[in-house]
Amino acid sequence: MKKLPFYRSFVALALVLLLNRSSDWGKWSPRGCVACLGGPRCPGDRPSRTRPPKHGTPRTTFPAAGSDLASVARGGDWPQFRGPNGSGVSVETGLPIEWGKDKHIRWKAPLPGQGHSNPVIAGGKVFVTASSGFQESRLHVLCLDQASGKQRWHRQFRSTGSTLCHAKSNMAAPSPVTDGKAVYALFATGDLVALDGDGNLLWYRSLARDYPTLANNVGMAASPVLWQDMLILPLDNAGESFVAGVDVKTGQNRWKTARTREINWVSPLLVPQGNNAQVVIGALAELTAYDVHTGKKLWTYAGNGFSNTSTPVLGDGLVLAAGGQFTAVRPGTAKAGPKLVWQTSKLHPNISSPLYYDKRVYSLNPPNILVCANAADGKVLWQQRLAEGTYWSSPVAADGKIYAVNDAGTTTVVQVGDKPNVLARNALDDPILATPAIAGGCLFLRSDQYLYCVSGDRERFIE
């Protein structure tokens, strides 16, 4: 076999490298797009406007494209994990009470992969994430029409970080967040993507490349939250752990504060204080609060230790957090520390987060007991057994009712008050580990295969 002349071998090698570089699964396309698998509006179809990134900056940034999303997130929307400020509470009324596979399902949309992220809803659009493919290396962000469930757009990306996780989890465990103009999606791989309302890429970051020691072999699941024009990014893990404030326009860090290296699945809680806010994050050792504008640590509270799976909730000015003792803490300041208001051992959710609703706090105690306590002093008022099974998802509330979904996909609807009243147990026979969403008079339930829109009135107009 004759050897190719040197220059021909060089040309052949160059062609192979070019083909690999421009393939769908390439990390960098010829036009500079990172990890994006393309689509009709893939930004890779336009000239790259950035040079290869420096450490801690977005991999790709494009100017915001025009969007038909006319308004920002409204009061009746569900913009983040557990809805408005992570409360799990909606102002909606007239929600469905009974449903089944063929009853009161307004629409049912197929999903391209699995996920525990709850859908986020704003301006008539439903955004949802998923992961699929070999070792869950394909990441998805979809936009559906809120009224019909029809797909508006679908964007796919290649994971750039580790896909190791618990057998029950996946790479679409963190929930996205929207401000009504754009959607920001964090995946358990450390991939962070910003898309406008039309699905155009605004910027993209590979956090696994920015911070190479990121590691969580059980899978990350904490969800980002929004404060004005800043994305609060929680990244507790076995490697370099931190919380960061990310500029939503550029994807660059405005601030970054180091945290203890430990695995943690708790999402940030915002405690508004006028034009400012505290970012409170729970972990096994303590609750910690940071200034939302600077990332400066303001106060910590150790107590008897806290949950690393259950996200605290805000109620009557108190931070309500699960742990060794369920604890109600009045937030402190940079000068004065937090104040313990009450503690109890009778509220102890496992994975799900607590719920504050109408002056009361609710906990889903394992295996399936809903416990109601007075939010002022922690005194237990009643307990109610729900549908049998385990509960990974967190309960949500609206219109005087609590909706709790077990892992098998059965939702128990409880009328709350001085005494509980179980109104219905609704089975879909489709496993659900994602927390429900509420918007437009409908309940949105997400399984690994479908997104269900449940409505008591099929003809009701979704505002």
State the Cα–Cα distance between residues 407 and 126, nearest whole angstrom: 22
What is the per-residue pLDDT for 55? 39
In a domain, 275, yes or no: yes
Give the burial string for 433-448 (b: 16+ CB within 10 Å, else e).
Answer: bbbbbbbbbbbbbbbb
Structural domains counted in the chain: 1
The answer, yes or no, to whether residue 253 has pLDDT greater than 80, is: yes
Q: Any idea what the CATH number is for the domain that residue 434 is in?
A: 2.130.10.10
Average confidence (pLDDT) over 133-145: 92
Q: What is the end-to-end Cα distance of the chain in Å, rounded?
A: 72
Centroid of chain to Cα 207: 17
What is the per-residue pLDDT for 37? 55
In a domain, 4, yes or no: no
Picking from 221, 149, 223, the residue whose alpha carbon sits closest to that of residue 183 is 223
State the Cα–Cα distance between residues 194 and 58, nearest whole angstrom: 10
In a domain, 58, yes or no: no
State the Cα–Cα distance between residues 457 and 461, nearest whole angstrom: 9
What is the per-residue pLDDT for 1? 46
What is the per-residue pLDDT for 74? 56
Write down the pTM of the prediction: 0.85
What is the per-residue pLDDT for 219? 82
How sure is the predictor about 334, in pLDDT bands with cuts at 50, 70 and 90? confident
State the Cα–Cα distance between residues 132 and 123, nearest whole angstrom: 28
In a domain, 350, yes or no: yes
Average confidence (pLDDT) over 308-333: 95
> Higher-confidence residue: 38 or 323?
323
Average confidence (pLDDT) over 311-338: 94
Classify 463 as helix, strand or coil: coil
Least confident of 28-32, 291-295, 322-326: 28-32
Average confidence (pLDDT) over 4-9: 47
State the Cα–Cα distance between residues 146 and 127, nearest whole angstrom: 9
What is the per-residue pLDDT for 12? 45
Structure-derived torsion over alpha carbons of residues 272, 274, 275, 276, reported in degrees to the nearest 10: -50
In a domain, 130, yes or no: yes
- Average pLDDT score, the chain: 85
Residue numbers of the domain that contains 226: 34-42+71-454
State the Cα–Cα distance between residues 362 and 356, nearest whole angstrom: 6
The answer, yes or no, to whether residue 63 has pLDDT greater than 50, is: no
In a domain, 28, yes or no: no
List, for residues 352-384, the tens digit of each pLDDT value: 999 999 999 999 999 999 999 999 999 999 999
In a domain, 9, yes or no: no
In a domain, 26, yes or no: no
What is the DSSP code (8-state) at residue 85?
G
Residues 96 and 289 sit within 8 Å (Cβ to Cβ)? no
What is the per-residue pLDDT for 161? 84
List, for residues 7-46, the tens digit of each pLDDT value: 444 444 444 333 333 333 333 332 234 455 544 444 433 3
State the Cα–Cα distance between residues 409 and 364, nearest whole angstrom: 16
How sure is the predictor about 183, in pLDDT bands with cuts at 50, 70 and 90? very high
Give the burial string for 291-301 (b: 16+ CB within 10 Å, else e).
Answer: bbbebeebbeb
Residues 446 and 115 sit within 8 Å (Cβ to Cβ)? yes
> Higher-confidence residue: 201 or 324?
201
